């Protein structure tokens, strides 16, 4: 039986996104990437990555004195699981309520709504195949 990994904090998710994009990377690369967005200590990044490794979100290999980290789970599966939990826990499984929260939040542009329509059309086409 698959063991479910503990949920990711906001900071951990930010680090995981960098690692997923890089495929395999170092603490230094993650730290430098984060530095373009906000000020964060290198030791903080190292601690967060070590904890992600302990929690089995990451795996590492040592080459010389450098540790190279990579994700143990694909980004797509992780985001799908997070979306499922959000839908079920926060919105009681109601897609309508989730969509209304997104629309009412004012974060959906006209371009976004067009893309959502296209995705729904694609989904319906695939359901009919």
Q: Is the same domain home to 82 and 66? A: no
- Find the CATH number of the domain harbouring 49: 1.10.10.10
How much is the pLDDT for 2?
60
HSE-CB of 123 using CA atoms within 13 angstroms: 6
Report CA Rg, the chain.
18
Q: Is the pLDDT of residue 27 over 70?
A: yes
pLDDT tens-place string over residues 43-86: 999 999 999 999 999 999 999 999 999 999 999 999 999 999 99
With CA atoms as reference, report the closest residue to 57 among 90, 14, 1, 88.
14
Q: Is the same domain home to 16 and 53? A: yes
Structural domain includes residue 18: yes
Identify the domain containing residue 17 by its residue range: 10-71
Structural domain includes residue 5: no
How many structural domains is the chain composed of?
A: 2
Instruction: Tell me phi and psi for residue 35, to 5 degrees.
Output: -60, -25
Q: Is the same domain home to 15 and 42? A: yes
Q: Is the same domain home to 67 and 81? A: no
Percent of the chain residues past pLDDT 70, beyond the cut = 97
């Amino acid at each position: 039986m698959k063991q479910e990994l503990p949920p990711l904090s906001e900071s951990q998710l930010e680090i995981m996104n960098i690692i997923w994009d890089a495929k395999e990377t170092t603490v230094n690369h993650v730290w430098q990437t984060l530095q373009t967005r906000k000020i964060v200590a290198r030791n903080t990044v190292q601690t967060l990555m070590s904890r992600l490794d302990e929690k089995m979100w990451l795996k590492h290999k040592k080459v010389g004195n450098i540790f190279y980290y990579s994700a143990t789970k694909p980004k797509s599966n992780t985001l799908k699981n997070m979306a499922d939990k959000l839908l079920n826990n926060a919105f009681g499984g109601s897609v309508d309520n989730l969509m209304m929260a997104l629309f009412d939040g004012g974060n959906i542009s006209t371009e976004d709504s067009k893309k959502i329509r296209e995705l729904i059309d694609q989904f319906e086409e695939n359901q009919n195949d």
